[in-house]
Amino acid sequence: MAYKTEFDRETGRKGMGFYGKYFKKYKFPFLAAIFCVASEAICDLLNPTLMSNIINKGIGQGRISEVYYWGALMLTVTVLGACFAVTRNILASRVSQRMGADLRYDLFEKIIYFSEQSADRIESGSLITRMTNDTSQITLFVNGIMRIFMKAPITCVGSIVLATILNFRLSLIIYSIVAVVAFLIIISMKLSYPRYTTLQKAIDRVNSVVQEYLIGVRLIKAFGTYDQESEKFEDANSNLMQKGISAQMIITLISPLMTLSVGIGTVIVIYVGSRLFGLNLANPGDITAFTVYMSQILMSLIMITNIFNVFVRTKASTARIKEVFDCDGDFTGDGEVIELKGNIDFENVTFAYPNGSGVPALKNLSFSVKSGQTLAIIGPTGSGKSTIAWLLLRFYDVNSGRILIDGHDIKDLGIDTVRGNIAIVPQNPMLFSGTVAENIRWGNKYATDEMLHRAAEKAQADFIGRMQNGFESFLGSAGVNVSGGQKQRISIARAIIKNSPVLILDDATSALDAVTEAKVRENLKDMAGKQTVIIITQRCGTAMTADRILVLDKGEKVGFGTHDQLMKDCEVYRDIYRTQIEGSKEA
C-alpha cells in the first residue's frame, strides 16, 4: 500500500480540487477580500454617474449648490473606494503568501515520503522548479483573484449596465466592442496555454544543467570541460529565452489590438454622441460619463486578459504540482519497531528496477544468513550487490520470490520495523550540513557522548579528535569539508551507533587504506554473534574473513560458501582471488 501523507488523508483530491483545502483554511479573509473588491468596484462605478450629475444638474443649470452636493458625494465615494482597495491589498498579500507557504510545505512533505520509484521519475532540478517557481505562480494567481478577479467582471458588467441606462443607443457601440474583445481573449488563451507549459519545462532544464554542474564541479574542473558545460547552459538558457518570448508574444500582440478596439469605440461614441446631441437625444454630461465608462470597460478588459494570462500559467503550474502530489508515496509506516534477531533469507528473489532497462538486477536469488553471522557479497560492478541492500530496506518490492527476516516476509513486518532493525552505510556516504556529532547521532538521537566516542573509535574516525572543534566541528552541506575516507568513517560510526541487529556496509571501506580497513573490520567483531553483518565489497581480502561469501555475477548467484569452499568450487571467485591476491603478490 502506498503511503498516504497527512495531505492526502485530508483531501482525497481530484483534479484541481486539492486547492479546496487551502481555500477552506483561508475562507474568512478570502471572502472579506472579495467583499472589499466588490464594494470598491461599486464605488468606481458610481463615479461617472455622479460626475454626469455635476455636469447636467450643476454646471449645466448654473447651480453651485448642486455642484457642491454631488462633488462631496463623489469625494466620499472615492475615499471609501480607496479604503476598500487598501484592505483588499493587505488581505491579498497575506493570504496568498501563506497559501504559497502551505503549498510548499505540503509538497516538501510529499517529496520526503516519495517512494524510490517516484524519486527516480521526476528529476530533482524539476522538483526544485515545481517547489519554487510553480508555487510562486499559484501565489501570484491567488493574490490576483483577491485583488482584481472580482473587480474586473463587476466593473465591466456594471459599466455596461449603467451605460445602457444612461443612453441605450450609444451602448449598442459598447456591446459590439465587448464582443470583439471577448473573441480576442479566447484566442489568446488558446494560443498561450501550450506555450506556458513548454516555458516551465525550459526552466526545469536550466535548473537541471546548473545543478548537474554544481554536483560535478570538481570533475568538470579536473577534466577541463568548462566549454562543454557553458555550451550546455547556453543552449538551455537561450531555449528558455525563446520560449519566454514566444509565450509573451501572444499577449503582446493581442493587448494593443484590444486597446485599439476600445479606442475606436470611444471615437465612435463621441462622434455618434455629438450627432445624437444635435438631434437632442443625448446631453454633454451623458457623453462624458459614457467615455469614462468606456475607459473603465477597457481597463477591466485588460485586467481580465491579465487574469486569464495568469490563469493559463497557473493551470500549467498546477498540472506540474499535481504530478508531484500524484506520485506514489513510500510504504506505510506506523512508527512501531519490533525488535528482530536478524536471520535473513532470500527465496528465489527476482527484481527489475521499475524505471530500468527491463533486465532484472537480481535473478532467482536464494541465500540465507543466520543471526550473528557475517556475510560478504562480492562481485563486479553492476552485479546487483547494492540492489540486495535496497530490497532489504524495502525501498523497492521484489517482483517474485520472498525476503524473510526471522522467518517473516518483510512485506508483513511493517516498514518501520524493517528499517529500524537495519543500519546501513551506503555506497555513496551522505553527510548533511551540521556538526559531526549531529551527523553521527542520526543513528541514535539519544546516544550519550560516551557512545558517540566509542562509535567513532570503532569506525577508526580518530581524525575527528584532531579537527578544530572535535565532534562539534561543522560539516558543510553534503560534507564538502571532509575527505572521501573521512566521510565513510563518519558514516560507519553513524551505523554502528544505531546498534541494530543487522548492519549493511555497502562498499563502505573502499576509500580506506588496507590497514585502517582491517582495524574497522576487527572492531566490528565486538558484536559478533549479536549482529548480522553484510559486507558488500569488491575486494577479496575483505570478503575472505566473513563466515559466508555470496558471489554474484549479472544478478545471479554463482557461488555461496566459505572462502575455502569457494576456492574449490567457484571459478569466478577463484579468478577474483587470483587477480587480486596472487596478482598483487607477483607484482
Q: Which residues bind Mg ion (CB under 5 A)?
A: 385-386, 427
Place of cell 519490533: 338
Q: Which helix (H) or strand (E) holds 348?
A: strand 344-351
User: How near is the Cβ of 218 to Mg ion at its closest, in Å?
Assistant: 21
Exactly one of 39, 283, 387, 516 binds ligand ADP (CB under 6 A); which one? 387
Q: Which is nearer to ligand ADP, 382 or 529 (CB)?
A: 382
Interacting positions 301-360 with ligand ADP (CB under 6 A): 353, 355-356
Q: Which is nearer to Mg ion, 200 or 386 (CB)?
A: 386
* Residue span binding ligand ADP (CB under 6 A) among the ranges 94-102, 293-301, 380-388, 481-489: 380-388
Does residue 384 interact with ligand ADP by CB under 6 A? yes
Pairwise CA distance, residues 239 & 88, whole Å: 38
- For 133, which DSSP code? I
Helix axes 484-498, 514-524, angle to 10 degrees: 0
Determine contact, residues 201/129, Cβ cutoff 8 Å.
Answer: no
Q: Which is nearer to ligand ADP, 102 or 116 (CB)?
A: 116
Pairwise CA distance, residues 296 & 152, whole Å: 9
Does residue 385 interact with ligand ADP by CB under 6 A? yes
User: How near is the Cβ of 403 to Mg ion at its closest, in Å?
Assistant: 18
**Residue 20 near which of ligand ADP, Mg ion, none (CB within 5-8 Å, type-dependent):** none
**Residue 481 near which of ligand ADP, Mg ion, none (CB within 5-8 Å, type-dependent):** none
Pairwise CA distance, residues 60 & 51, whole Å: 12
Does residue 56 interact with ligand ADP by CB under 6 A? no
Q: Which is nearer to ligand ADP, 19 or 560 (CB)?
A: 560
CA dihedral 311, 312, 313, 316 (to 10 degrees): 120
Interacting positions 117-136 with ligand ADP (CB under 6 A): 120
Cβ-Cβ contacts under 8 Å for 290 (sequence gap 6 or more): 48, 163, 166, 167, 170, 269, 273
User: How near is the Cβ of 381 to Mg ion at its closest, in Å?
Assistant: 7
**Residue 355 near which of ligand ADP, Mg ion, none (CB within 5-8 Å, type-dependent):** ligand ADP
Does residue 381 interact with ligand ADP by CB under 6 A? yes
Name the phi and psi angles at 141, rounded to 5. -65, -45
Q: Which is nearer to Mg ion, 385 or 563 (CB)?
A: 385
Q: What is the CA radius of gyration of the chain?
A: 35
Does residue 361 interact with ligand ADP by CB under 6 A? yes
* Residue span binding ligand ADP (CB under 6 A) among the ranges 27-35, 71-79, 339-347, 384-392: 384-392
User: How near is the Cβ of 117 to ligand ADP at its closest, in Å?
Assistant: 9
Determine contact, residues 204/122, Cβ cutoff 8 Å.
Answer: no
Determine contact, residues 33/102, Cβ cutoff 8 Å.
Answer: no
**Which three-class secondary structure state does DSSP give residue 424?**
strand
Of 101, 318, 327, 104, whose CA–CA distance to 196 is shortest?
A: 318
Residues of this chain that interact with ligand ADP (CB under 6 A) are 120, 353, 355-356, 361, 379, 381-387
